[in-house]
Chain A
């Protein structure tokens, strides 16, 4: 077996006939630093989990790149990253404006060190994000004081740059969770960080007031499947194919996104049909359009109840949403 299997993620380190026991490797085990769990998903690529929120770290001899920041236990997040970093944190990409993505970006920036450049006087790591992420962060009143906004903003459909030996693509997913969402592709490692576009623990949060929409969410999931996330062959082989770091929950792959996309599409179509029958929001909620999916992805308690999700989809599909007014 390839040596690289030693550090690869997944449970699929399967022995084949003729393998020695020493070739058969333990499945990945999480390390814990303070409140932060650390899982190596590919060589030098880590998924960190704090209070259920995921962030990603890619490190190498020149730089460390952090994608999202978590929202709590910021000191532990910095310590955890320092425990795996081979070089200073130089870049932080924020995939969206929600507190769960940006909450600790300030302390992370301050603990980092940007690439030396004679004409730039700023210190700390460079924060990157879509322009709308910055503007939505400026609008929000409930963000923690530790949140640091992007100073290096992109407005095109993608932003590409290289860190260590890795090409990084930051790709805009317009009008999904909000209108400032990005997903990040680590091309060589074949890892995608989805931000709030994909959450393996719950229905997607559609932030209507900040430009999110159900159609944008479905488009984003389809874009992931058509352009960015490659299935393993065979499908169960966790060493191969694209690994997906979701906003929350366990490490995922193409199958997880397919099932999620199918579910969201079915729920959208159920609610669309009810709207076409002239049902009000209360009547749609009473019709239980998440039947069959709620035990797995729904919640009766804040934040983000099933009822709130249905209301957001309903608003997104009727004229009463900013994205709809913009033609989104």
Chain B
């Protein structure tokens, strides 16, 4: 019995080994099929989206604090340019209507609309497009493998974008960007900037991750994300901004620069807002002035001994914009608005 039992056991082992091998083969085939279909997993991105509020709310609504560059891998020169910047700069008649660059999609609360341009014969998607707003250029993501424009071609705030599917993620790379701003508080962005955006839609949620590389003003890639929710009843031209009109007519807001002056803090080191963020939130100035080191988690360990939490969690800009959007309950919950 024992021997039989051993033989039986061996056979069982052998059978299970065969089954395992068969199972492994089946799994491999299924994996291969899945991988093949995954590689072709182009997703229909068409739709109307609203930005999901909650991440970087202040930055995306009323804007970042003056002289707050925390987490931005900016160079010393970029910091100097940012500290020279005053909000009056974009009140110049000549600059009022200049849109923000393509990465503003990840730094604002606007929604947008996505649609495909298809080849009328083959039906293939030639390009994905997403709408602009008054202060951001619409974008076309070319999917037909066309060559980029010449290096000598015109640069624009939206640049030239080509895309390729990697699994179910659309990877869109933008070049030919005009000089402009990286942030609304004056961090500069050069025309050498390259922006790569990863667009992933799962069910009704579209996540966009952007990697901004600027060899002129950044010392490391700067990563931003924004999450959007498909909202087909949003309507065109709504306050959430699926498709705001992209026109703009400037008006005199500050004395004309033709009298020889341009709004600027001539000496970056004497910017009156140099300590604003430190005094508001008790965050050390070495952090608020940004730099590559402030991006990483260990930086919070390094400054822990210097950080004293403010008396109240939220003292400035806690509620306004979020309430303006009608999200009072949300704002109360997250931002402790009273």
Min C-beta distance of B161 to chain A, whole Å: 9
| Residue B140 lies at the interface, judged by CB distance under 8 Å to chain A | yes
Interchain CB contact (< 8 A) of B158 among A16, A54, A236, A266: A236
Query: Which residues from 138 to 166 on chain B have a C-beta closer than 8 Å to any C-beta of chain A?
Result: 138, 140, 146-160
Check if B157 sits within 8 Å of A236, measured CB to CB. yes
Complex Cα spacing A253 to B178, Å: 10
Among candidates A28, A254, A255, residue contacting B149 with C-beta atoms closer than 8 Å: A28
Indicate whether A256 reaches chain B with its CB closer than 8 angstroms: yes
Residues 33-53 of A at the B interface (beta carbon under 8 Å): 37, 39, 41, 47, 49
In the complex the two chains form, is B261's CB within 8 Å of A269's CB?
yes
Interface-side segment among A6-14, A71-79, A88-96, A140-148? A6-14
The answer to whether B49 has its CB under 8 Å from any CB of chain A is: no
Contact residue among B81, B120, B257, B261 (Cβ-Cβ distance under 8 Å from A292): B81
Task: Give the dominant DSSP class at B's interface.
Answer: loop
Q: How far is the CA of A24 from the CA of B159 in the complex (A)?
A: 16
A265 touches B137 (CB 8 A): no
Given contacts A234-B247, A295-B216, contact A270 B158 (CB under 8 A): no
Q: How far is the CB of A194 from chain B (nearest CB, A)?
A: 15
Asked if A28 contacts B150 (CB within 8 A), the reply is yes
- With a cutoff of 8 Å between Cβ atoms, the chain B residues found around residue A249 in the complex are 152
Q: How many angstroms from the CA of A10 to the CA of B177 in the assembled complex? A: 11
Stretch at the interface among A115-123, A177-185, A205-213, A225-233: A225-233
Q: Enumerate chain B residues within 8 angstroms of A235, measured Cβ to Cβ.
A: 97-99, 157, 248
Asked if A11 contacts B176 (CB within 8 A), the reply is yes
Q: A238-B154, A269-B261 are known contacts. Are A250 and B188 too (CB-CB below 8 A)?
A: no
A interface size (C-beta, 8 A):
58
Known A15-B140, A265-B257, A269-B261: A29·B179 in contact at CB below 8 Å: no
Give complex CA distance A252, B264 in Å.
Answer: 24
CB pair A19 B154 closer than 8 Å = no
Chain A contacts of B89 at CB under 8 A?
A: 262
Task: Write the chain A residue with the least CB distance to B120.
Answer: A20
A and B contact pairs by CB, cutoff 8 A, 18 listed: A12-B156, A14-B140, A15-B129, A21-B117, A29-B149, A30-B152, A41-B154, A233-B248, A236-B157, A249-B152, A258-B98, A291-B80, A291-B268, A292-B82, A294-B77, A295-B75, A295-B190, A296-B188
A residues whose Cβ falls under 8 Å from a Cβ of B: 9-12, 14-17, 19-22, 24, 26-30, 37, 39, 41, 47, 49, 54, 218, 222, 225-226, 231, 233-236, 238, 243, 249-256, 258-259, 261-262, 265-266, 269-270, 273, 291-296
Q: Which residues of B contact A (CB under 8 A)?
A: 75, 77-78, 80-84, 89, 92, 94-95, 97-99, 115, 117-120, 126-127, 129, 132, 137-138, 140, 146-160, 176, 178-180, 188, 190-191, 216-217, 246-249, 257-258, 260-262, 264, 266-268
